[in-house]
Chains A and B, each alone.
Chain A
């Protein structure tokens, strides 16, 4: 079965960086994006950006441009999202999600990781 397994919770100080991993297994699509979405406590879903699993091409939401970097290690089917210059308002659960591209570029997010809580605290 498809699994997206994310790394564990993190506590960081303001100004620090955090790197969250997302390991994919059992996914059948040959070409797909990994998207990152975050959710502050009690709030809605906020899309951060995408990275193509094969090419490594990325696209980031303007809000996070300059602070977020998405990378991957194909050999271990793992994607990473690094957020720098952390602020208190970056405290949230961060999710990764796959988006298949086999049938075009307008697909939904079909599988999600379990989420990683990142707490920014002094």
Chain B
């Protein structure tokens, strides 16, 4: 199984802040790395797929980047609607493992 190491597990930020979340894998996954946003009581929603492709309809303040086996999700200017938990996931091979999540809350 490919273990996804996501950090930090939580962070506090203010509206307008730039936020970066990192996900690391122990082996290459050919950029088959996806990011999801989940709000309390809701299902996850796909934000970014294949490391850096923004899903249609997702605000452009969200971006993803890959550097080897390190992947980052950046929110360029945090908005009130962005306070949520974010998960990375690899779709390179089964089992399709998830990172442990990063909860972004209000400072």
Contacts and interface: CB of A to CB of B under 8 A. Distances in A.
Nearest to B33: A108
Interface string A31-51: 000010100000011110010
Nearest to A112: B43
B63 interface: no
Contact of B91 (A45, A108, A114): A108
Interface of A: 35, 37, 44-47, 50, 59, 61-62, 95, 97, 99, 106-110, 112-115
A47 B95 CA distance: 7
A50 B91 CA distance: 12
B50 to A, nearest CB: 8
B45 interface: yes
B94 A50 contact: yes
Interface stretch (B10-18, B74-82, B96-104): B96-104
A85 B30 CA distance: 37
Contacts of B43: 95, 97, 112-115
B29 to A, nearest CB: 9
Contacts of A99: 91
- Across chains A and B, which 5 residue pairs bring their CB atoms closest together, nearest first? A112-B43, A108-B34, A108-B49, A106-B32, A45-B98
A81 to B, nearest CB: 15
A103 to B, nearest CB: 10
A106 B32 CA distance: 6
A110 B87 contact: no
Contacts of B87: 44-45
Contacts of B49: 107-108
A108 B34 CA distance: 6
13 contacts: A44-B87, A44-B98, A45-B87, A50-B94, A59-B94, A97-B43, A99-B91, A107-B91, A108-B34, A108-B46, A108-B89, A109-B34, A109-B44
B95 A106 contact: no
Contacts of A113: 43
Given A44-B87, A47-B96, A112 B34 contact: no
Contacts of A110: 46, 55
